[in-house]
Amino acid sequence: MSLYQINYNFHGYSTPTKKHSKVKAIITEVAGYADVAKQIIELAVNGAAQNRSYRRLTDFTDTIGNRVSGSHNLEMAIKYMYNALKQDGLDVYLEPVKIPHWIRGNESAEMVLPRAKRLAILGLSSSVATPPEGIEAEVLVVQSFEELKKRASEAQGKIVVFNQPFVSYGETVAYRLNGASEAAKLGAVATLIRSITPFSINSPHTGMQSYQNGVKQIPTACITLEDAELMQRMAQRGQKIVVRLTMDAKSLPAADSFNTVAEIKGWQHPEQVVLLSGHLDSWDVGQGAMDDGGGAMISWEALSLIRDLGLRPRRTLRTVLWTAEEQGGVGAQQYYDLHKVNISNFDLVMESDTGTFAPVALQFTGSGAARKVMEEVVKLLAPINTTKLEKHGEGTDISPWMQAGVPGASLHVADSRYFWFHHSEGDTMTVQNPRDMDLCSALWAVVAFVVGDLQDMLPR
């Protein structure tokens, strides 16, 4: 098959003339939604729904606080959202899942030598505890896994401090994920990982870490950029560094939880689904407003906007608020396992999980033919200047669907400050901006409604 045919193979149209005709028909059909898109945008940005998603997020996060997997706060968050979605007139239900349950407990770290200093730390998810009396040991500071290997003979009995530079989250997060096991292989007794952030005001950032099978599990926590660099400088001067670390973290049996689902049923093809999503859980610090309260709220707000305008698409619009995303998309994987039998009916899966700052573009993963459709859809966003369609829709929770061939979309926002606050005490409502959330909600609603109402599903 030629490249031309691959890129323009719409639903069995095989000749260039027929394909061209089909493309023109799609362009005309999507353009017919211009007035509806303007109505949605006007309602969200300037109308009665202005600031609504922000107010909802404020009420939610101020009432519940942070919501780590397995916690009572997460249970309360799910109940809160179930009731709020019901009161909003949506079809709402809960789908049970099992999720990890790790408790941070009390934790502290202090430098003993070459001078006394308290170190701000946050233990990493699933870390084991220290002995009750703590661990006091000399520190080995390294800047990479390669340096650790070169200095393997020095690691025995030490607390390894990783002072890796921040390159990008995708690259640098390997130290948080794997640092403990890599150090344990060489006889280290604990690890302290420089927080995965480009900016700090003495703020540690927590997150997921993963012990490797067959490797001794040692306590592990993140420290601040400032303290990691301080110990690096001390080590370069040849000073002996000793740290005392105390952690009483523990892992409990898997907890019962739920993915929270709200819908507007399609009038013609209710079995076909456009899925919008964000995750309801957070870490146990800050308020979880940015990560990912904002994503959850705009996925609710999109349905509210559509309902307020009396719109009902051909297909079902389904908002899913995932549980235990921070532990590796646990709730979403169980959702996929339950619903993949109906995978042919999933038209588009959408996830917002990189903040709800000012939207820049829509990111999309799908066939060339589907991309042609989506290029037309985003043109409807001209009133808010977000007509760009970028490659690579992303999201931990929707990745199983995309890997199986379902088209996927995510928000690209002006996220230069995202990792300043990510997984830290700084993730609060102060980070959020009401107009930015209105714009994200408008984009989310327009894309979901139009794709859900087109004559045909997006081509695979």
Q: Does residue 214 belong to any structural domain of this protein?
A: yes
Quote the CA–CA distance of 41 and 121 in Å, as a whole number.
Answer: 43
69 & 192 share domain:
no
> What confidence score (pLDDT) does residue 11 get?
41
> What confidence score (pLDDT) does residue 34 get?
98
Instruction: Give the 3-state secondary structure of residue 165.
Output: coil
Rg (CA), the chain: 24
Contacts (Cβ under 8 Å, ≥6 apart) of 93 = 261
CA neighbours within 13 Å on the CB side: how many for 231? 32
> What confidence score (pLDDT) does residue 17 get?
65
pTM over 0.75: yes
Contacts (Cβ under 8 Å, ≥6 apart) of 96 = 256, 257, 258
Residue type, 359: P
Tens-digit pLDDT profile for residues 318-356: 999 999 999 999 999 999 999 999 999 999 999 999 999
Residue 434 has pLDDT above 90, yes or no: yes
> What confidence score (pLDDT) does residue 22 get?
80
Q: What is the CATH number of the domain that holds 122?
A: 3.50.30.30
Beta strands 359-365; 315-322: pairing state: unpaired
> What confidence score (pLDDT) does residue 363 get?
98
> What confidence score (pLDDT) does residue 8 get?
31
361 & 416 share domain:
yes
Confidence of residue 23 (pLDDT cuts 50, 70, 90): confident
209 & 268 share domain:
no
> What confidence score (pLDDT) does residue 377 get?
98
Q: What is the CATH number of the domain that holds 317?
A: 3.40.630.10
> What confidence score (pLDDT) does residue 4 get?
25
Q: Does residue 288 belong to any structural domain of this protein?
A: yes
Tens-digit pLDDT profile for residues 172-228: 999 999 999 999 999 999 999 999 999 999 999 999 999 999 999 999 999 999 999
77 & 178 share domain:
no
Direct distance between the N- and C-terminal alpha carbons of the chain, in angstroms, rounded to an integer: 16
Q: Does residue 5 belong to any structural domain of this protein?
A: no
> What confidence score (pLDDT) does residue 176 get?
98
Residue 16 has pLDDT above 70, yes or no: no
| Average pLDDT of the residues of the chain | 95
What are the strands, taking DSSP E only, across 85-234?
Answer: 91-103, 107-113, 117-119, 121-123, 135-142, 159-162, 190-194, 220-223
Could you give the number of structural domains in the chain?
2
> What confidence score (pLDDT) does residue 3 get?
27
Q: Does residue 10 belong to any structural domain of this protein?
A: no
Q: What percentage of residues in the chain have a pLDDT greater than 90?
A: 94
Q: Does residue 23 belong to any structural domain of this protein?
A: no
Task: Point out the residues that are catalytic.
Answer: 325
225 & 344 share domain:
no
Tens-digit pLDDT profile for residues 356-370: 999 999 999 999 999
81 & 214 share domain:
no
Confidence of residue 15 (pLDDT cuts 50, 70, 90): low
Residue 301 has pLDDT above 80, yes or no: yes
Residue 374 has pLDDT above 90, yes or no: yes
Tens-digit pLDDT profile for residues 152-170: 999 999 999 999 999 999 9
Where among 193, 220, 248 does a domain terminate?
A: 248
Tell the residue number behind the tokens 């306590």, with chain if given: 219
Q: In 185-221, where does DSSP find H-type helix?
A: none
Q: Does residue 89 belong to any structural domain of this protein?
A: yes
Residue 5 has pLDDT above 90, yes or no: no
Q: Does residue 143 belong to any structural domain of this protein?
A: yes
90 & 156 share domain:
no
Tell the residue number behind the tokens 């928000």, with chain if given: 411
213 & 361 share domain:
no
Where among 216, 248, 280 does a domain terminate?
A: 248
Instruction: Give the 3-state secondary structure of residue 45.
Output: helix
Instruction: Give the 3-state secondary structure of residue 100.
Output: strand
198 & 239 share domain:
yes
241 & 118 share domain:
yes
Q: Does residue 211 belong to any structural domain of this protein?
A: yes
Q: Domain containing 387: what range?
A: 32-100+254-453
Where among 222, 248, 274 does a domain terminate?
A: 248
